[in-house]
Amino acid sequence: MRAAAFGVLMSTLAATPLAARDFSLDVPIECDLGAECFIQQYVDHDPSHDAKDFRCSTLSYDTHQGTDFALRSLDQMRRGVNVIAAAPGTVKGTRDGMEDRLFNDEQSSQINGRECGNGVLIDHDDGWSTQYCHLKRGSVTVKTGDQVGPSTVLGQVGLSGRTQFPHVHMTVRKDGEVVDPFDPDGHIQCGAPSTETLWQTPPSYRPGGVLDVGFSDRVPEFNDIKAGNAALPQMPLDAPAIVVFGYAFGSKSGDIMHLRIDGPDGTLIDEKVEIERNQAQFFRALGKQRTTVNWPGGEYTGTVILRRGQQEISRFQGKTIIR
């Protein structure tokens, strides 16, 4: 998202001297990072209209000013995932009450100046601040003037403001200028990422990943997949088709998504699909129509693997029962 801090938009990426880094950050979300949630976008380091993250890869977009900690699905968001303060400080501002919904361009005028959605701004002294955006409506638990610790719950991950997937966007600033916590000096060297970060324990970098795998009796709608309600854990013997889908993030042009279905009688589908372009989030689906009276009853396993060149980036499995 293009982070608007309660009406104030900062766009300068700071080059922060190592000696000035006198505070450190914890991960601002209560989840198993890499299993239940993922970092899907990083600070943009490209001064042009293109974008690149601190690894000179594509997990960012033009003018993106923070780090996006994203959930797998809207269903996970509805169950509740806490956002926590990344460092001790004083709450300088909050917003709550904005609706959780998938953003579209028609809503731009309605949220002008409030792209951050529901959020919290924390001052950490010595010019440092952190901002947390897209919190769930009604979840903000702190108020201006509150003192927070490094694990104080600020609210929950939501879908408010300018966003199309449930996540908390955290922006770090020093004296009002954006700082990338993964590369605070701002000097990017492709192939040699900085070993100096603002993290107490630096999160692992994932170049992309499979978020979910599920079965349906037709090619599902993307919004249903993102909502977490497209997968059918059980289907009837006379289902018109068996379709497996893979939902993923961080594709690069030329990536391969490998989709496979294994059933009671062996492998039903085993195919590879080339991804045509860079995409923040995407899905692919493959299936077969029923040509017999019934499908063989039993358990079906769907495996989806995302590959980049010779590297396997991620794999995930889903299951359904046909009976």
For the cut 90, the answer to whether the pLDDT of residue 158 exceeds it is yes
320 beta partners: 300
Domains in the chain, CATH or no CATH each: 4-179 (2.70.70.10), 209-322 (2.60.40.10)
Q: Is the pLDDT of residue 22 over 90?
A: no
pLDDT at 100 exceeding the cut of 50: yes
Q: List, for residues 217-272, the tens digit of each pLDDT value.
A: 999 999 899 888 899 999 999 999 999 999 999 999 999 999 999 999 999 999 99
- Specify the 3-state DSSP secondary structure of 75: helix
Coil/strand/helix, residue 174: strand
3-state helix, strand, coil in the chain (%, to 5): 5, 40, 50
CB of 38 closer than 8 Å to CB of 68: no
Q: 279-294 pLDDT, tens per residue? A: 989 999 999 999 999 9
- Which region, left, alpha or beta, applies to residue 155 given φ > 0 means left and ψ of -120 to 50 means alpha? left
Strands 234-235 and 311-322: parallel
* Separation CA 64–CA 54 (nearest Å): 12
Burial class of residue 229 (count of CB atoms within 10 Å of its CB; 0-12, 13-18, 19+)? middle
Query: Residue 298, exposed/middle/buried by CB under 10 A (0-12, 13-18, 19+)?
Result: exposed
pLDDT top residue among 274 and 16? 274
Please state, in angstroms and rounded to a whole number, the distance separating the CA atoms of residues 323 and 316.
24
**Mean pLDDT, the chain, whole residue set:** 90
What was the pLDDT predicted at 15?
53
Give residue 1's pLDDT.
41
Q: What is the pLDDT of residues 102-157, one digit of tens each?
A: 887 777 778 888 999 999 999 999 999 999 999 999 999 999 999 999 889 999 99
